């Protein structure tokens, strides 16, 4: 795409309402004499960093173009350096596809007979996708005017362009009854002003392309004449020598640009400092970017950025707090009640508050360079503490428990077999099982074997029991003093399975306009809330609610502590976006603001402010004491921590009672029916 875009509009392409004859004088023949100066000054105003590429001239032409117009276009088109090209263009025909336009116009050139025609021309080129109010605009009046008239017309022309936010405007007008071209402009910040209205207009350049006599020995004299410039690429035409007196030194005539430049007398149109002019800032209260209340902005790292920017540019920030309901509503193009209404109506210059680009802002606003990355995510209640009764069982996994229980039964069988072989105690297998359990728990047992082999086995079994007992108690204490939690909900799919309620601001609903099943389900059950902080507070009382919120805001919300909720990991984000400041469309100091933001980021101040802003939220739990906390706080064991043991004892007592009743029943039946002893009866009775 071309770096510089020159938009030519001609007087002849639109109807004209003529001024009275005594005010507006037509002089087309005389107008041709200013063509070289027009081209020469445009070379000065239209700078190109890539001249070899050429520039694009968009022209509105009629078949019967005037001699002045033809000469002017030839002057641009036949430039030996080819810095300015020509292309016919008509903005009345809509562009079928503007996606190929990657750059905006850098220069405009308009030819009019009077200022009232500008409205028609502006309405035409405003429909072009290359529109750029920050570009250099040159207006050429094609009618010769008296001094009183052109002063009025120049002011009207500057005001008309200012109404469409063009500040960098130069107006060319031919001095009455001469071939001198004057260039007039205005300086928005002159004499302490703030670009609010046009008061003074100034002449910045004066040019005449004239034929002057030159003697060879006087060539260097022209170089030192104040404010008269001779260009090295001059062409000598119409040269003549005096025929009346051949003895005199030969004289010749040369065409020169006689110029006067007055720009040095004035400040730049966009000065380095802006006279303490107000910078109107609209913002919602959105921690950590902006901290305050419904009427006052107090701090926040974006507020710190605004303070640095305004201090460097000598501006005064004026804040306006946007209502929470407007900040969370669906983003629309509404110029009255929409979120961007202040910027669209140009009642504010800039907007902050953790903002990101969207289709509406791209169309109606401009934005700064990004300086922070945030994301929208789901925040849900943290996983609750798991029940404590399984504490005595989860010490080991199921395989270790099965191995330990198996060892008890096998050891009981070994002891019973050895006892039978020794013919010592006449006890059954059940009694030996109790002895084995006692030994495995490191307890004493009433058994005195006589054989050495049995004693060695019992010794090894005793060491095993000691090791098992120590391991059991160690892991039991660890389990009882370390809190366990239920499975944490960390994905949208898991939340849907648990029938969670999805809530959030209305402007986040657009993120679920997707074809996948998860987005469709969330969009169908999504509940909007006007105050996100109030929705976050629901997490404390509702265990099945998920709130869509900015991650940075969730970590700094004043309504709930960060430890009181769980936000999904970044891999499960709803949307990730760069944070930017929104500014009114084509804000003329946007480039300076971007430069300062870049410097702030490169200096490391932004990271420092983010760390400081993360500390602004007062966590109400941080100053609390008591024994219910975790970490270094003392853990007080309660019955709940070992209630599993009581359950186990209860189960054992129940089984014992059932076994006791079974033995009584079996003994009664045996006595009644004279049953003989069997292996089974000897084992249990």
Q: Are strands 545-550 and 501-504 parallel, antiparallel or unpaired?
A: parallel
Q: What is the CATH number of the domain that holds 18?
A: 3.40.50
315 & 290 share domain: yes
DSSP 426-486: ---HHHHHHHHHHHHTT--------SHHHHHHHHHHHHHHHHHHHHHHHHHHHHHHS--BP
Question: DSSP for 207-241?
Answer: EEEEEEEE-GGGHHHHHHSTT----TT----S---
Q: Say if residue 640 is in the same domain as residue 610.
A: no
Task: Say yes or no to pLDDT of 322 above 70.
Answer: yes
Which range (458-462, 487-491, 628-632) has the least confidence? 628-632
Give the separation between CA 48 and CA 83, rounded to whole angstroms: 8
Q: How far out from the chain centre does Cα 67 lie?
A: 54
- Same domain as 114, residue 193: yes
Residue 206 pairs with which residues in a beta bridge? 182, 260
- What residue numbers bound the domain in which 651 lies? 636-685
User: pLDDT at position 90, please?
Assistant: 53
- 605 and 650 share one domain: no
Q: Which of 524-538, 562-576, 632-646, 663-677 has the lowest mean pLDDT?
A: 632-646
pLDDT at 73: 74
Q: Are residues 364 and 510 in the same domain?
A: yes
The pLDDT value given to residue 597: 95
Question: Do the beta carbons of residue 9 and residue 121 sit within 8 Å?
Answer: yes
pLDDT of residue 2: 38
Residues 321 and 409 in one domain: no
- pLDDT number for residue 425: 60
Q: Are residues 502 and 575 in the same domain?
A: yes
Q: 671 or 487: whose pLDDT is higher?
A: 487
Q: What is the pLDDT of residue 624?
A: 39
The overall pTM is greater than 0.85: no
Q: What is the pLDDT of residue 466?
A: 82
In a domain, 40, yes or no: yes
pLDDT of residue 327: 93
Is 347 inside any structural domain? yes
Higher pLDDT, 465 or 636: 465
CATH of the domain at 533: 3.40.190.290
Residue 567 belongs to some domain of the structure: yes
Q: 544 pLDDT band (50/70/90 cuts)? A: very high
Final residue belonging to a domain, choices 483, 509, 541: 483
**Structure confidence by residue, pLDDT tens digits, 149-196:** 888 999 999 999 998 889 889 999 998 888 899 999 999 999 889 998
Are both 520 and 573 inside the same structural domain?
A: yes
169 and 22 part of one domain: yes
Dmax (CA) of the chain: 171
Domain count, the chain: 4
Q: Residue 227 falls within a domain, yes or no?
A: no
Q: What pLDDT score does 596 carry? A: 95
Q: If pLDDT is split at 50, 70 and 90, which confidence band does 127 have?
A: confident
Q: Is 116 exposed, middle or buried (0-12, 13-18, 19+ CB in 10 A)?
A: middle
Question: Would you state the structure tokens that stand for residue 47, as one six-digit string?
Answer: 């700078």
- Cα(211)–Cα(252) distance, rounded to whole angstroms? 10
The runs of H, that is alpha helices, within 482-566 are: 492-497, 517-525, 532-537, 551-554
- The pLDDT score that the predictor gives to residue 474 is 78
CA distance 226 to 208: 15
pLDDT score of 373 = 93
Residue closest to 346 by CA, chosen among 163, 156, 592, 169: 163
What pLDDT does 14 receive? Answer: 32
Residues 68 and 193 in one domain: yes
Q: Which residue has the higher pLDDT, 199 or 415?
A: 199
What average pLDDT is seen over the chain?
78
Question: Please, what sign has the CA dihedral across residues 609, 610, 613, 615?
Answer: negative
Q: Identify whether 213 is part of a domain.
A: no
Residue bearing the bigger pLDDT, 209 or 220: 209
Q: Is 390 contained in some domain?
A: no
Mind listing the pLDDT tens digit for each residue in 485-498?
888 999 999 999 99
Are 433 and 501 in a shared domain?
A: no
Note the pLDDT tens digit of each residue in 341-397.
Answer: 999 999 999 999 999 999 999 989 999 999 999 999 999 999 887 777 777 777 778
Query: Are residues 505 and 367 both part of a single domain?
Result: yes
Tokens at residue 392, please? Answer: 């005595």
Is 469 domain-assigned?
yes
CA torsion sign, 471 to 473 to 478 to 483?
positive
């Amino acid at each position: 795409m071309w770096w510089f875009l020159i938009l030519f509009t001609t007087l002849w392409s639109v109807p004209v309402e003529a001024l009275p004859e005594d005010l507006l004088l037509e002089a087309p023949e005389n107008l041709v004499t200013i063509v070289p100066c027009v081209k020469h000054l445009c070379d000065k105003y239209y700078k190109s960093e890539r001249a070899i590429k050429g520039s694009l001239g968009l022209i509105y032409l009629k078949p019967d173009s005037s001699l002045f117009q033809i000469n002017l276009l030839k002057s641009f088109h036949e430039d030996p350096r080819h810095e300015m090209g020509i292309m016919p263009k008509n903005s009345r025909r809509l562009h079928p596809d503007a996606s190929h336009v990657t750059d905006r116009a850098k220069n405009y050139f308009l030819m009019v007979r009077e200022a009232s025609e500008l409205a028609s021309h502006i309405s035409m080129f405003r429909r072009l996708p290359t529109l750029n109010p920050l570009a250099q605009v040159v207006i050429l009046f094609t009618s010769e005017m008296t001094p009183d008239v052109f002063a009025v017309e120049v002011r009207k022309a500057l005001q008309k362009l200012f109404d469409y936010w063009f500040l960098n405007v130069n107006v060319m007008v031919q001095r009455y009854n001469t071939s001198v071209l004057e260039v007039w402009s205005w300086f928005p910040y002159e004499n302490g002003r703030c670009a609010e209205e046009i008061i003074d207009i100034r002449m910045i350049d004066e040019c005449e392309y004239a034929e002057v006599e030159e003697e060879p020995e006087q060539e260097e004299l022209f170089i030192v004449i104040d404010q008269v410039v001779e260009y090295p690429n001059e062409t000598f035409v119409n040269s003549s020598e005096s025929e009346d007196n051949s003895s005199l030194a030969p004289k010749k005539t040369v065409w020169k640009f006689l110029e006067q430049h007055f720009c040095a007398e004035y400040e730049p149109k966009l000065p380095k400092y802006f006279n303490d002019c107000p910078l109107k800032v609209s913002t919602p209260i959105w921690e950590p970017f902006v901290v305050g209340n419904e009427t006052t902005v107090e701090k926040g790292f974006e507020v710190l950025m605004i303070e640095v920017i305004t201090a460097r540019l000598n501006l005064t920030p004026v804040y306006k707090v946007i209502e929470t309901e407007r900040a969370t509503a669906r983003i629309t193009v509404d110029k009255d009640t929409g979120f961007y209404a202040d910027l669209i109506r140009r009642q504010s210059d800039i907007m902050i508050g953790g903002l990101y680009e969207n289709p509406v802002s791209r169309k109606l606003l401009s934005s700064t360079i990004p300086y922070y990355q945030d994301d929208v995510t789901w925040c849900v209640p943290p996983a609750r503490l798991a029940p404590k009764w399984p504490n005595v069982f989860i010490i080991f996994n199921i395989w270790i428990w099965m191995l330990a229980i198996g060892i008890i039964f096998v050891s009981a069988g070994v002891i019973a077999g050895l006892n039978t072989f020794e013919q010592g105690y006449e006890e059954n297998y059940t009694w030996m099982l109790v002895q084995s359990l006692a030994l495995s728990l490191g307890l004493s047992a009433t058994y005195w074997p006589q054989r050495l082999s049995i004693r060695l086995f019992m010794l090894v079994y005793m060491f095993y029991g000691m090791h098992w007992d120590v391991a059991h108690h160690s892991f039991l204490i660890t389990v009882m003093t370390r809190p366990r939690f239920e499975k944490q909900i960390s994905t949208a799919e898991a939340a849907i399975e648990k029938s969670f309620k999805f809530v959030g601001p209305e402007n986040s609903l657009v993120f679920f306009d997707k074809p996948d099943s998860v987005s469709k389900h969330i969009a169908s059950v999504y509940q909007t809330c006007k105050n996100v902080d109030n929705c976050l507070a629901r997490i404390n009382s509702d265990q099945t609610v998920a709130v869509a919120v900015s991650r940075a805001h969730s970590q700094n919300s004043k309504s709930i502590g960060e430890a009181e909720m769980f936000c999904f990991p970044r891999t499960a984000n709803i949307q990730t976006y760069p944070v930017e400041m929104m500014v009114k469309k084509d804000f003329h100091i946007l480039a300076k603001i971007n430069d300062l933001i870049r410097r702030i980021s490169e200096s490391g101040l932004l990271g420092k402010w983010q760390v400081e802003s993360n500390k602004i939220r007062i966590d109400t739990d941080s100053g609390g004491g008591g024994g219910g906390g975790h970490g270094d706080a003392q853990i007080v064991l309660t019955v709940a921590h070992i209630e599993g043991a009581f359950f186990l004892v209860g189960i054992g007592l129940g089984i014992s009672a059932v076994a006791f009743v079974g033995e009584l029943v079996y003994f009664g039946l045996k006595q009644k029916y004279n049953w003989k002893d069997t292996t089974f009866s000897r084992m249990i009775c």
